[in-house]
Structure 1
């Protein structure tokens, strides 16, 4: 009898022979990585509420600056009449409001970026198929990096809104346009009190109140649209989180 060299030993796998080792279970891969459970959706509603509150406080300080702008304009006129440049010899209420304005701005920036960062993570988990044009680091850097600050934050907010909306997305373009107008006018008003010649100071005195008025109007428009955006994102993400909980419970 010819013996097959590659045949298993007699009785291998039989009730009396050694057990045949089971083949390992196949590993399923997606895009070259093992499948894993997606991270749980996290609600950013609390941060969204805080961001809205700080935005309202920021707008209130802007109204205060507008109310104090006429006194600042008078101080500029006095400085121009005396042949001086900036009115750095006297600290006005407008200047103190500017300090408060900056402090609230920093607080609003931190809380808003935390909300955007958390909301973006939730949006990615809720709608993984939607490509976000900007990475998550731009939820923080996009607001102050030169040049790109003109459109990166808009793209971040737009993609978060698109990933959580169940209907048409509107109002984001108007919010961003109003925001850019406000930032431009607010920076212009801030530079008006640092003129170095009497002529420039006199010109700033005549324009300061008008510039602050336009900045306040632009901020009010941006605030209304911003509240709509934040509330919309929070509402839609709450719905997604509720659906995910129901699916895990079923």
Structure 2
């Protein structure tokens, strides 16, 4: 017991993190479910096959009326976009909280300035490592310098693959263009969907690991 106290000196009371962590986990699972539903609709499009009238985007600014299945895909992807946006907001709230707690626990300023909590996800090149670094820094500061869990790397690899390919967050194809791709070659789309779902699930374990580390230290 004395050894434990010597290793982890008494620290000031921390703002609670468990509540926002639970919301983050729920939001991540919701986003993963949204990407799963999206993949199911892409499979349905591939199985149905392209109508005789051709793709929705006919070129030269001409678009044919959507089929019922294509129209429902638009609805599914729009609803999924709302779920992902909600997930992003809650996840960033959790990340901001654990960064503040990590600073209290370590007595040292974070490695990255606060603006990177938001800018780091979108700035080209920097977004290849900054978000992972934010969480690794918070974990290390919360645990006295321990290496982050392997699931952090799993999450980050899946996230980068998913956001940069297929139907990921940085992909610029319109919904109608993705529908056409589902008709002509659905497997790359499904691979991207799988990466995004896997990233959401891995992120759940990341949230739980960092949160547990801070609760243990605070306790």
Would you call these one fold, judging by a TM-score over 0.5? yes
Normalising by the smaller structure, the TM-score range is: 0.7 to 0.9
Consecutive unaligned residues of structure 2, counting only runs of 5 or more, are: 1-10
Contact 2:57–2:176 (8 Å) recurs in 1? no
Per-residue deviation at 1:211?
2.5
The within-5 A match list for 1:79-90 is: 79-80=53-54, 84-85=58-59, 89-90=65-66
TM-score of the two chains, using structure 2 as the length reference: 0.77
1:170–1:83: structure 2 CA closer, same or farther, 3 Å change rule?
A: closer
Q: 2:121 aligned with 1:147, yes or no?
A: no
Partner deviation per Cα, 1:172-203 (whole Å, 9 max, x = no partner): 222101011111222387616444xxxx9866
Q: 2:49 aligned with 1:70, yes or no?
A: no
Higher share in helix: 2
Give me the whole-angstrom Cα distance separating, in 1, the residues matched to 2:140 and 2:160: 21
Contact 1:87–1:193 (8 Å) recurs in 2? no
Q: 2:87 aligned with 1:105, yes or no?
A: no
* Root-mean-square deviation (Å): 2.9
Question: Rg: which structure is higher?
Answer: 1
The within-5 A match list for 1:1-250 is: 40-73=13-46, 74=48, 76=50, 78-80=52-54, 84-85=58-59, 89-90=65-66, 91-129=70-108, 132-165=110-143, 167-171=146-150, 172-184=152-164, 185-187=166-168, 191=173, 193-195=175-177, 205-207=183-185, 209-242=186-219
- Bigger shift: 78-87 or 106-115? 78-87
Contact 1:80–1:201 (8 Å) recurs in 2? no
Give the number of equivalent residue pairs: 199
TM-score of the two chains, using structure 1 as the length reference: 0.68
